[in-house]
């Protein structure tokens, strides 16, 4: 389905504003069955844009268990930057260059990933993905440790007679080096149970991904640092340079949203992260903190979000006339 550039810009602005609000409030992932309708109902959103960005959200969530809002925010930021910097006839040529620039940024995240070394780091990665819920982070860390290298960890909602809270329950052995573990989540209401259950599932995926492929600075800092891999091309007056510039602008959006939600100068925070790569952004402080004490993201999830954002931006720029 084709759309005009005016429709694309209006749609991206509306969806970015909606997702930024949810991202700043640390809301759990939108449900796959609802996200397309949510985007389509926003004023001024073209169905094709709602469908493609919903697909980016769902793909990232299903493949990685986290990072879906960041993927949408980065995609919207890339599209806005491309629309601002190139005339209409040049954007089709820009699309494949954007895909390549996003891949380059994702590869930079992989190179910079640091292995998790302690249970405390596993817990911080889980807590970050659970929107700062320390009880969930601790339970996920405990379940992973007790499950063993060949074990399995599940997240289940509590039964009506279970007490509110998060508990870890032992299950059957899965072999000489593993055990089945279940993290049971129960809130004071059905809505709270559903919300915390989603956060616990996200935390489990993030912790497993961080254990497997390493960690990156949290709070949006990893996306800004990924953009540094494009700095050498971003000043070129070429399609490649414009693509690098657009992707770099998109990669700034997650941290910009968090900084602005905290009432801070986003430009100053972005500059500080570029100049001091060993920091993360903690929206609850609020401000920059050493990586050793701050939020942690799973590098694999950041990579996946960047790649999906690049693909979504390419698809929509190609469709616009």
3-state secondary structure the chain: CCECHHHHHHHHHHHHHHHHHHHHCCCCCCCHHHHHHHHHCCCCCCHHHHHHHHHHHHHHHHHHCCCHHHHHHHHHHHHHHHHHHCCHHHHHHHHHHHHHHHHHHHHHHHHHCECCCCHHHHHHHHHHHCCCCHHHHHHHHHHHHHHCCCCEEEEEECCCCCCCEEEEEEEEEEECCEEEEEEEEECCCHHHHHHHHHHHHHHHHHHHHHHHHCEEECCCHHHHHHHHHHHHHHCCCCHHHHHHHHHHHHHCHHHHHHHHHCCCCHHHHHHHHHHCCCEEEECCCCEEEECCCCCEEEHHHHHHHHHHHHHHHHHHHHHEC
What pLDDT was estimated at residue 93?
76
Residue 28 reports pLDDT greater than 90: no
Question: Model confidence over 270-295: pLDDT tens digits?
Answer: 999 999 889 999 998 999 999 999 99
The Cα 37–Cα 56 span in angstroms is 14
The Cα 123–Cα 127 span in angstroms is 6
Length of the chain: 321
What pLDDT was estimated at residue 85?
79
Q: What's the whole-number mean pLDDT along residues 124-148?
A: 96
Tokens of 124: 């911080």
Name the residue ranges covered by the structural domains of the chain.
5-114+219-319, 119-213
What pLDDT was estimated at residue 47?
96
Percent of the chain residues past pLDDT 70, beyond the cut: 98
Confidence of residue 258 (pLDDT cuts 50, 70, 90): very high
Q: Which fold has domain 5-114+219-319?
A: GROEL; domain 1 (1.10.560)
Per the DSSP assignment, residues forming a β-bridge with 154 are 182
Architecture of the domain spanning 119-213: 2-Layer Sandwich (3.30)
- Residue 29's φ and ψ, nearest 5 degrees, are -60, 145
Confidence of residue 94 (pLDDT cuts 50, 70, 90): confident
Which of 78-82, 95-99, 103-107 has the lowest average pLDDT? 95-99
Confidence of residue 233 (pLDDT cuts 50, 70, 90): confident
Give CA torsion, residues 118, 122, 124, 128, to 10 deg: 160
For β-strands 215-217 and 296-298, DSSP reports them as antiparallel
């Amino acid at each position: 389905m084709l759309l005009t550039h005016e429709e694309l810009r209006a749609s991206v602005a509306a969806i970015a504003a909606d997702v930024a609000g949810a991202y700043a409030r640390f809301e759990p992932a939108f449900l796959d069955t609802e996200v397309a309708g949510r985007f389509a109902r926003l004023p001024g959103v073209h169905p094709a844009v709602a469908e493609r960005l919903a697909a980016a959200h769902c793909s990232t969530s299903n493949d990685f268990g986290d990072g879906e809002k960041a993927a949408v925010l980065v995609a919207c930021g890339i599209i806005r930057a491309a629309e601002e910097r190139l005339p209409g006839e040049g954007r089709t040529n820009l699309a494949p260059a954007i895909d390549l620039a996003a891949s380059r940024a994702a590869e930079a995240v992989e190179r910079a990933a640091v292995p998790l070394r302690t249970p405390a780091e596993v817990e911080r990665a889980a807590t970050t993905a659970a929107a700062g819920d320390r009880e969930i982070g601790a339970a996920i860390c405990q379940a992973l440790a007790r499950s063993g290298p060949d074990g399995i960890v599940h997240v289940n909602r509590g039964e009506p007679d279970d007490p509110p809270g998060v508990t870890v329950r032992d299950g059957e052995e899965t072999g000489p080096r593993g055990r089945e573990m279940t993290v049971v989540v129960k809130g004071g209401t059905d809505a709270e149970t559903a919300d915390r259950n989603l956060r616990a599932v996200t935390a489990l995926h993030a912790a497993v991904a961080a254990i497997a492929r390493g960690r990156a600075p949290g709070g949006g800092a990893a996306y800004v640092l990924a953009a540094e891999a494009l700095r050498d091309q971003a000043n070129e007056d070429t399609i490649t340079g414009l693509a690098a510039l657009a992707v770099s602008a998109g990669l700034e959006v997650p941290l910009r949203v968090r900084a602005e939600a905290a009432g801070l100068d986003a430009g100053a925070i972005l500059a500080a992260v570029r100049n001091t790569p060993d920091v993360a952004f903690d929206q609850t402080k609020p401000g920059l903190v050493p990586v050793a004490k701050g939020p942690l993201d799973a590098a694999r999830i950041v990579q996946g979000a960047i790649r999906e954002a690049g693909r979504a931006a390419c698809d929509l720029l190609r469709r616009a006339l």
